[in-house]
Amino acid sequence: DIQMTQSPSSLSASVGDRVTVSCRASQAIRNDLAWYQQKPGKAPKRLIYAASNLQSGVPSRFSGSGSGTEFTLTISSLQPEDFATYYCLQHNSYPLTFGGGTKVEIK
């Protein structure tokens, strides 16, 4: 199975900060990676697909990069509605696997 190591597991940031979340795959997955945002009690929402493609309707302050084994989600200027938990997902091979999540909290 491909292990997805996501870091950090949590972070505290202020409105307006630039935030970076990383995911490392235990083996190369091309660009078969998506990022999801989840708020408490809600279903996850896709932000990024194919590592760097912005989901329609998602604000442009979100961006994704990477290929192979190293991937990054960046929020260029954190907004109040961005406080949530973020997950990466590899869909290159079965079983599909998620990162452990990054909880973004208010500083």
Partner 1 sequence: EVQLVESGGGLAQPGGSLRLSCAASGFTFSDHYMDWVRQAPGKGLEWVGRIRKKTNSYTTEYAASVKGRFIVSRDDSKNSLYLQMNSLKTEDTAVYYCARVRESENYSFDYWGQGTLVTVSS
For strand 10-13 and strand 102-106, is the pairing parallel, antiparallel, or unpaired? parallel
Q: CB under 8 A: which stretch of 15-23, 63-71, 73-81, 94-102 binds partner 1?
A: 94-102
Q: Of 25 and 34, which CB lies nearer to partner 1 in the complex structure?
A: 34
For the bound state, the minimum distance from the C-beta of residue 9 to partner 1, rounded and expressed in Å, comes to: 10
- Binding of residue 68 to partner 1 (CB under 8 A): no
| Whole-angstrom distance, CA of residue 91 vs CA of residue 60 | 24
Region for residue 100 given its phi and psi (left: phi exceeds 0; alpha: psi -120 to 50; beta: otherwise): alpha
- Binding of residue 87 to partner 1 (CB under 8 A): yes
In sequence order, the 6+-apart residues with CB closer than 8 A to the CB of 81 are none
Answer whether 66's CB lies under 8 Å from 53's CB.
Answer: no
| Sole binder of partner 1 in the list 12, 26, 46, 77 (CB under 8 A) | 46
- Binding of residue 44 to partner 1 (CB under 8 A): yes
Contacting positions for partner 1 (CB under 8 A): 1, 31-32, 34, 36, 38, 42-46, 49-50, 53, 55, 87, 89, 91, 94-101
